[in-house]
Amino acid sequence: HRDLHSFPTRRSSDLSKVFYPKTGFTKGQMIDYYIRVSKYLLPHLRNRPITLKRYPNGVEGLFFYEKQCPSSAPKWVKTTKVAKSDGEINYCELNDLPSLVWASNLANLELHTFLHKAPAVQRPTAMAFDLDPGAPADILKCCEVALHLKAFFDSLKLKSFPKTSGSKGMQIYVPLNTAVTYERTKAFAHELAQLMEQQFPDLVVSRMEKVLRKGKVFMDWSQNDDKKTTVNVYSLRAKERPTVSTPVTWNEVKAALNEQDADALIFEAAAVLKRVEKLGDLFAPMLSLKQKLPAVESTRARPASKPRKAR
């Protein structure tokens, strides 16, 4: 790849090592996926501090998080220092293909980024909701909640964008790209989650206690925080199969719910590469669409839609 040619050569290691034993998907295939999807992925990583999540022995082995960018990182891997109460953390930024391949070679299987970019680490570029189903609820229950959220944001003339988590749930993003603080986005998200819980008590829970989540969808508003990361779009997940956090259309969400087809929202690496070739980057508006977050009171003024039944 031509973007790699201007950087010092570094040998990738253990490319034949199986990272997903259930499918035989190897470390080499993981790196190849990230190279091939990089055209669509890199704009969503650029200038975002990232917490590395490394799986040196694959998805069935031990993993560890790495906030501090490794001291062994090449000089061309950009970093950003973020002040903490007990010092500072020098986070990696994966701004280009060589940096992405370098991190992949370290078995950084999953990409977990913040909602802000450096150097404006107190200004989120979006508001996000992580929809986490509590068994026996599944991604189809998340679709119901997602569509209620869409109706609410539509009523405020705000565009929202869904993606799968690559695991069992979904995430809904509202691009902002305007002057806003985490204090505002978190307050708005919390108020909205509470409203959803009040209106759909058999479907939504906004409180953190796991015991409350059985058969419901936990609408995690707390992701809107400068200390929290969320799995990045197009990131692989460390599951049995090489599933990917994949942007989807609202029509796909509706169709999966209407047809009660949870598998329609599960995408593995090969399928994602075909999707981006055909559909392009469905999450591209997250990069540039400017929207202003209304006052928190807007959540009280506009009721969410009534539950809809699958046909």
Q: pLDDT band for position 306 (50/70/90)?
A: low
What distances in angstroms separate CA 126 from CA 77, 184, 299, one per listed residue?
25, 11, 17
| 64's tokens | 């560890």
pLDDT value at position 303?
A: 53
**Distance from C-alpha of 44 to C-alpha of 49, rounded to nearest angstrom:** 11
* Lowest mean pLDDT, pick from 155-159, 168-172, 210-214, 272-276: 210-214
What distances in angstroms separate CA 272 from CA 34, 245, 279, one per listed residue?
11, 9, 10
pLDDT in tens, 110-149: 999 999 999 999 999 999 999 999 989 899 999 999 999 9
Give the Cβ contact number of residue 51 at 10 Å: 18
pLDDT in tens, 38-75: 999 999 999 999 999 999 999 999 999 999 999 999 99
pLDDT value at position 310?
A: 43
Percentage of residues in the chain having pLDDT higher than 70: 91
Helix (H, G, I), strand (E, B) or coil at 51: strand
Asked if 5 and 101 count as a contact pair (C-beta separation under 8 A), the reply is no
Question: Is pLDDT above 70 for 9?
Answer: no
Specify the DSSP class assigned to residue 262.
Answer: G
Mention every residue, 6+ apart, whose C-beta is less than 8 A from residue 112. 50, 51, 53, 229, 230, 231, 232, 235
pLDDT in tens, 73-121: 999 999 999 887 778 999 999 999 999 999 999 999 999 999 999 999 9
* pTM of the full structure: 0.91
Q: How do 126-133 and 217-220 pair as beta strands?
A: antiparallel
Question: Is pLDDT above 50 for 7?
Answer: no
| 156's tokens | 């405020």
Asked if 234 and 41 count as a contact pair (C-beta separation under 8 A), the reply is yes
54 forms beta bridges with: 64, 108
N- to C-terminal Cα separation, the chain: 47
